[in-house]
Structure 1
Amino acid sequence: MQKYLKLLQELAVDFDLFQITQVSRTLNKKADTLSKLAALTFSHFKKEIWVEEVKVKSIEEDSVSAAVEEEEQSWMTPIVEFLNKGALPIDSVEARKIKMKAPMYLLDKGILYRKSFLGPHLRYLNPTQAKSNIREVHEGMCALNSGHKTVVSKIMRLGYYWPSIYRDAAEVIRKCQSCQLHALVSKAPRHPMIPVASPWPFCKWAIDILGPFPAGPGGVKFLAVAIDYFTKWVEAKPLKTISGKQIRYFV
């Protein structure tokens, strides 16, 4: 309690008016009940009682580190150096590209933004931060595991952008295990179907050879199959070897 009092006295200096009001017992029933829970046993209660265990005191400061460490070199490095120091690459072609792209960017307190006329400036992210941002929007606590276009629109509404945002979002979502497990199974053929017209029976035939398969009775390993396009009648014969004599005999 002395630590809380010391912290309270330090914070009170920053306020013009400081007042302590005593709460009456009728308005403090909830706090009194919570304070007595430590001396009670819950075996006789039929309903569940959720008790939060506070392991860290509110007066202790927590050290927060960055969730994603930024990379030293990325595609933004030459642009930031040009906007900050006016430095250009040795290659004349690359230097010309940076000069043409520079008016599209804004450097504010070491952070690179993309200028916008009708909306807020969008903050650029390096590759490591970009992938973490995509996973948070796609697989986060309030995410819907939506497609890459919806994820990109949400990221831009949050105020972030980078040149390869669509390609990176599609690549990350393609590797999502939940999307692969719960995705709709497409029943459409992978290749366009080619209709074959047959005016009468035995007008068109198709013959194919399948195999080799594991050896069966008699040492047969191959299968000769023929089908009529009109009646869809199938003829099949197991063969031990494939030769012109065997196929002529099958036909």
Structure 2
Amino acid sequence: MAISANEQTPWYADIANYLVGNIKPTDLTRHMKRRFLSEAKHYFWDDPYLFQICADQVVRRCVTESEGRDILKHCHSGPTGGHFSGNRTARWVLDCGYFWPTIFKDVNVFVSSCDNCQRIGNISGCNEMPQHFILPCEVFDVWGIDFVGPFPSSRGNKYILVAIDYVSKWVEAQARVTIDSRVVVNFLEKLFTRFGVPRVLISDRGTHFHNDPMARILAKYGVQHRSGVASHPQTQGQVENANRDLKSLLEKNVAQTRKDWSTKLGDALWAFRTAYKTPIGTTPFRLVCGKSCHLPIELEHKALWAMKNVCFKLDAAGKERFYQLNELDEWRAQAFHNSKLYKERAKLYHDQHIKARDFNAGDKVLLFNSRLKLFPGKLKSRWSGPFTVVKTYPYGTIEIEDANGVPLKSMATNSNFTTMARLKKARRFSISKNFESKEGIRQASDVKEALIGRQPIQKKTNLKFFFTLFLADV
């Protein structure tokens, strides 16, 4: 019995018609017809089903479109499925005795669009946002500020308040008993009187940095306050690096009880300021003061400057000082150039290892709950949604809303925005109605190669296939 063209035509219609009624396709070229006859030798008809003798000599039944979807659902997400990977699920389908030409491709798409599987796992490093570095021009124009601690009590102090200049990498730090607005305001007032009023102050969104006293002092001096979010600490990357280096210096110098760290903080700052920094190509001390720092070892072992006599000639001393000031400008210009090149190389390396992702208005996305690690729950998914993208902004900022059209408000930022790094597209499995049966037959040899080599087939975008699948939004 030949298959009627009026029925929903399966991918194997031509082979079935040839085996049952010796009806050959008429729209094939000579080469395609020869290949068709070669492939047909591996099939046999047992009414009402078509079977294939596969490359591993196992007889498998050829299934239709609707059957294939049910089989995939059972083998992947059924009671005995286990939500395994695409390769393992495809092997499971083959072991159950079913076959269609694009089985590996279809299974991979089905697995990637499984809702339960999409809600498992952490944020992948390859899904981070492209890097956008901060490049100020003038020394002391941009400061980053942060608290480090708590540490073991040292003379009553448990925290370190750290500030770093984004151009010179100069660090100021003080040991503190508590973290509150009064401590921060007092620290900033001393910082401004020593180094001048900056243009921008960058911090996290802690309550000790966001309060009325802080707002008043910043408004008084005309300083812009920029803040990052807890889910993206790279915004405060400069001060985070300074925190890491200071903690490393203290760990190597404190006593075994670790209660003398506050007395070692000054030495740690001295070492940090006089250490060579690769991004600027010099030391913070030289970039700020215009000359290298004189160390005690230079007096003990008689460095060149220590053996020189003091020059009391005002003209010669004035010229020397003039040269030093000009040299300082050159050092700062060179440091800016070095910092720019260093950050460009870092951005290039970072962006080469991430995926290019585009979010458009109307896309359905899942949101990663970065707060769940603070309140851990076993067997609990950290992905919520799906949400709808309302609008996208530069530098990876996205506005989303829930299924009821209510904008999602972040508790951390008190705004309707989130970062692209916390989002991923919600996928679903769909079958196109515009599939063509003959193209599926022409890919049967691909599955044959996979059965022989026990490796998944490579995707071929130049061929149409039985399950014409696509990723669409929920």
Q: TM-score scaled to structure 2, two decimals?
A: 0.26
Looking at both structures, which has the greater relative contact order when contacts are Cα pairs under 8 Å and sequence separation is at least 6? 2
Structure exhibiting the larger radius of gyration computed from Cα positions:
1
TM, length-normalised to structure 1: 0.48
